[in-house]
Amino acid sequence: MAEPESKKVKVDGTTKEAIKDEQQGTARANMDRTLQGWYSELSPMWPGQALSLKMDKILFEDRSDFQDVVVFESSTWGRVLVLDGVIQLTQRDEASYQEMIAHLPLCSIEPPKKVLVVGGGDGGVLREVSRHASLEQIDIVEIDGMVIDVAKKFFPDVAIGYEDPRVNVHVADGVKFLKETTPGTYDAIIVDSSDPIGPAQQLFERPFFESMAKALRPGGVVCTQAESIWLHLPIIKDLAQACSHTFKGGSVNYAFTSVPTYPSGIIGFMLCSTAGPKVDFKHPKNPIDDSKNANKNLQPLKYYTKELHTAAFQLPKFAQDALKDLLTS
């Protein structure tokens, strides 16, 4: 592609941008951009597209035993947590993800007593889980202790979930933890994982789902992060296939929510129940009552409503067509 005239001038970043600004409001001004001071989320998981956020300041940058961990202050989305180059959450839109991944399963069953969170080291899922007053035990198994420490330091409104006295933290491998769990222990398991490359890969594989099914009581539920219907329909189909095999006699469903800073602007969840008392995910039976939050310091819900719960299962026609034989109606 031919370079615009202005780009041929040998100047520093600032001057280049100034020249570009003369073309503001044209497509040309937005081509071949030098995004100095911006974060551009490129990944082989979503080739040819990238969300960029303007950075005000890098607050933390290190490598744990498992991954590259970075926190930066963005100009308009608040603080951002990045693992292995992929945006995990921003302060401005994290609620839609955390609330939906927690309340879609927990509001679908009789008031639960024991819950396990796999991954979710930032504490956001814990925060949402802890709204449920019925819970007696909240376990979390996160492989990377650095993520927990970083969340507590830089994302106090997210990591507030750790303050709940019902929470037991296990810094360990979730796959191994679940293999060793006494069968029938949990009412619900929530898997807040990163993408199926890197440390989270096994969390998308069939043996892991079989361990979860065993660890659940009859009619217990699992909710796992399950990518975007726009970008990863083949991954979702494979997952649905594995689940329909593993959760025979129960149910398998898929819902999605809007998260602007995730690739394609949405993310989905695979929801399954084991054989036992019937779970109808689309018509929740355990409404959440914000006024009964065990932790009085929690902000009210920002995203989840009972009506949105049901609406989240209505898939666009192209996704419905692709998944209809694998999902429970």
* Residues marked as catalytic: 192
64 vs 144: CA distance, rounded Å: 7
Give the DSSP H or E segment for 257: strand 251-258
Cross-strand pairs, 139:
116, 168
Q: Is 187 in the site for its own copies (CB under 8 A)?
A: no
User: How many C-beta atoms surround the C-beta of residue 239 within 10 A?
Assistant: 26
Whichever of 137 and 201 has its CB closer to its own copies, that residue is 201
DSSP 135: -
Q: Out of 285, 311, 324, 325, which residue is the one contacting its own copies (CB under 8 A)?
A: 311
Q: Is 305 in the site for its own copies (CB under 8 A)?
A: yes
Q: Out of 25, 65, 249, 291, which residue is the one contacting its own copies (CB under 8 A)?
A: 25
If we measure between CA atoms, which residue out of 103, 121, 244, 256 comes closest to residue 194? 121
Least gap, CB of 208 to its own copies (angstroms): 22
58 vs 245: CA distance, rounded Å: 45
Q: Out of 9, 291, 317, 329, which residue is the one contacting its own copies (CB under 8 A)?
A: 317
Amino acid at 267: I
Contact characters 254-283, its own copies, x per CB under 8 A: --x-xxx-xxxxx-----------------
Q: Is 165 in the site for its own copies (CB under 8 A)?
A: no
Whichever of 28 and 245 has its CB closer to its own copies, that residue is 28
Q: Is 52 in the site for its own copies (CB under 8 A)?
A: yes
152 vs 122: CA distance, rounded Å: 8
Q: Out of 79, 82, 196, 273, which residue is the one contacting its own copies (CB under 8 A)?
A: 82
DSSP 229: T
Contact characters 188-207, its own copies, x per CB under 8 A: ----------x---------
113 vs 184: CA distance, rounded Å: 12
Q: Is 54 in the site for its own copies (CB under 8 A)?
A: yes
Decide if 127 contacts 161 (C-beta within 8 A).
Answer: yes
Cross-strand pairs, 74:
55
Chain positions 107 to 136 lying near its own copies, rule: CB under 8 A, are none
Q: Out of 273, 304, 327, 328, which residue is the one contacting its own copies (CB under 8 A)?
A: 304
Least gap, CB of 51 to its own copies (angstroms): 6
